[in-house]
Amino acid sequence: MDAPHDTGERILDAAAELFAVHGYAGTTTRAIAEAAGVNEVTLFRRFENKVGVLTALGRRIQQQQAGHAAAAAPDSESVRETLLRLARMEIEATMAGGALAIRLAFDAKSVPEVAALLGEGIPNNAAGLAEYLAEHQATGELRDDIDASVMAEAFFGLTSSYVMYRIVMGVAPMPADVSTDDGIAQLFDLFWSGAAPKERV
């Protein structure tokens, strides 16, 4: 018998796939349960309802976002190393769940539950990264003449454009391994050249 954690993850995996294809409103709890290989009662016991599934899925997505992960960056890691690692993490997570993210963004215009999830998650991600950047601006490790929220916006512009260029526009190939993709490092260097103090570029 599967552990409760494994069952919960299977339900979330199934929900993510179905939400991406059919949208939040077009997906039933019965369909999620069937796709996860559990009965609907198990889903209700674990998440209460479809909103609970969406909320848990949102928490899982947040764990893979740069703004939430920045606070846990190891002290031994340089600011540049941390930001490059976070950029790769954000890109990898977005590419893995890009279809879901795009569908939820559309759903947010007409589904209050989705709008609430995105309205909370996206600003929190940006605020978390801005807080990390501001801390390192104060120590002289980043330029302090740029607002931290603007610098965070530039960072997410880097990660978002990388993904959009490949998933939505289909112009560039998908990398075999995000962790070693030179294109990400080169794009990051463009960001870093504007974010680092001039003597550190």
User: Distance between CA 91 and CA 39 in Å, rounded?
Assistant: 34
108 and 196 share a domain? yes
DSSP secondary-structure letter at 48? S
Closest by CA position to 132, among listed 116, 115, 155, 113 = 155
pLDDT at 115: 87
Closest by CA position to 157, among listed 132, 120, 194 = 194
Between residues 43 and 121, which one has the greater pLDDT?
43
9 and 76 share a domain? no
186 and 91 share a domain? yes
Average pLDDT over residues 48-60: 93
Structurally, how many domains does the chain consist of?
Answer: 2
Between residues 174 and 147, which one has the greater pLDDT?
147
pLDDT at 15: 97
125 and 154 share a domain? yes
pLDDT at 2: 55
Predicted confidence band of residue 1 (pLDDT cuts 50, 70, 90): very low
pLDDT at 200: 52
183 and 132 share a domain? yes
pLDDT at 183: 87
Q: Evaluate if residue 166 carries a pLDDT over 70.
A: yes
81 and 141 share a domain? yes
Average pLDDT over residues 102-122: 84
35 and 99 share a domain? no
pLDDT at 40: 97
Tokens of 151: 């610098």
Q: Which domain holds residue 26?
A: 4-56
Average pLDDT over residues 155-182: 81
Predicted confidence band of residue 13 (pLDDT cuts 50, 70, 90): very high
For the entire predicted model, the pTM comes to 0.77
